[in-house]
Structure 1
Amino acid sequence: MSKMNHEQIAEGKDISLKLWVVLTRAQQSIRKKIEENIKSYGLNLTEFGVLELLYHKGDQPIQKIGGKILIASSSTTYVIDQLEKKKLLHRKPCPTDRRVTFAALTAAGSHLMEKIFPEHRDAVDQILGGLNSSEKHEMTGQLKKLGLFAADVVQ
């Protein structure tokens, strides 16, 4: 291999490292701002994630909530308990399977989400306002491609 090929390989690896750092820092900055927005409603990110899932998808089996949002399934029960104490959701037995319990929004939970979700969506749009719509579509596709590739990498 010529010297030029070694330099090109090294440059490719260096740009991969730089991309990793930039992605991580961007994600941390975005997450911090989004968490601040959610905290302004008296919720944490996990609580909001559960409420948002129920708001958009309806009642959900508690056992499946952790896998549908960005939380560890081990903390799902704790989060459900906290939201139940806040009277934002309640547990509802499945009519056809005694082993299954659903989480369902209460009237107060639905009312809260009807109020705050549009505000939250606007805040996310503002936080991600550094890109125009076309750039967001392009980046979404590229990040999805990158994530799918990374999931299949064998080390």
Structure 2
Amino acid sequence: MKQYLKEKISDNQLDLKTAIVLNKAIRTFKPYEAKAAKEHGLTPTQFSVLETLYSKGELRIQDLIEKMLATSGNMTVVIRNMVRDGWISRTCDPKDRRSFFLKLTPAGRRKIEEVLPDHIDSIVEALSILEDGEKEDLIQILKKFKNL
């Protein structure tokens, strides 16, 4: 290994270890986050669409994508399939014919209300390893990443 690379690694050990531990924690947490959706026959993206519309109400497609931090290419297919399955409806924005609003149908509302309690239980289970103060600290630490 080249000397400058050894020095760079040595000088940045704490940052590198922090990144590794953070990524391992995310990989460990992800299955808990996806567990309920999978058990109820939903993809994580479908669950996110249902949950976002449930908590935020009717949204323009672009606003939904932004709130979910999703890509528009994948969302087009997901939305089309969810409309086909009767979980969400799509209506044209009267102020902008190029825009569409999405909202839950009664079937979509029933589906998310069926899944959400199990999802909450999974999240609570995963985070049970932390005390309340540690959760508050973690929230404050992770919020700092918003500024990157």
Same-fold call, TM > 0.5? Answer: yes
Match of 1:99, SS state, is strand
Q: Contact 1:89–1:103 at 8 Å: present in 2 too?
A: yes
Equivalent residues in 2 for 1:83-98 (5 A)?
83-98=82-97
What TM-score does the superposition give when structure 2 sets the normalisation length? 0.86
Residue 115 (structure 1) shift? 2.2
Match of 1:87, SS state, is coil
CA distance in 2, matches of 1:29, 1:106: 33
Paired position in structure 2 for 1:28: 27
Return the structure number with greater relative CO, CA threshold 8 A, min gap 6: 2
Paired position in structure 2 for 1:53: 52
Residue 121 (structure 1) shift? 1.3
Q: Contact 2:35–2:122 at 8 Å: present in 1 too?
A: no
Paired position in structure 2 for 1:74: 73
- Bigger drift between 34-43 and 44-53 goes to 34-43
Paired position in structure 2 for 1:111: 110
Residue 87 (structure 1) shift? 1.0
Paired position in structure 1 for 2:136: 137
Q: Identity, % of aligned pairs?
A: 34
Letter in 1 for 2:80: D
Q: Which runs of 5+ in 1 are unaligned?
A: 1-6
Letter in 2 for 1:44: T
Paired position in structure 1 for 2:4: none
CA distance in 2, matches of 1:37, 1:119: 6
Cα shift readout 1:102-123 (whole Å, capped 9, x = no counterpart): 1111100011112221221121
> What is the aligned-residue RMSD (CA, Å)?
1.9
Q: Which runs of 5+ in 2 are unaligned?
A: 1-6
Q: Contact 1:49–1:70 at 8 Å: present in 2 too?
A: no
Q: Contact 2:36–2:115 at 8 Å: present in 1 too?
A: no
Letter in 2 for 1:45: P
CA distance in 2, matches of 1:133, 1:76: 35
CA distance in 2, matches of 1:15, 1:63: 38
What TM-score does the superposition give when structure 1 sets the normalisation length? 0.83
Letter in 2 for 1:23: L
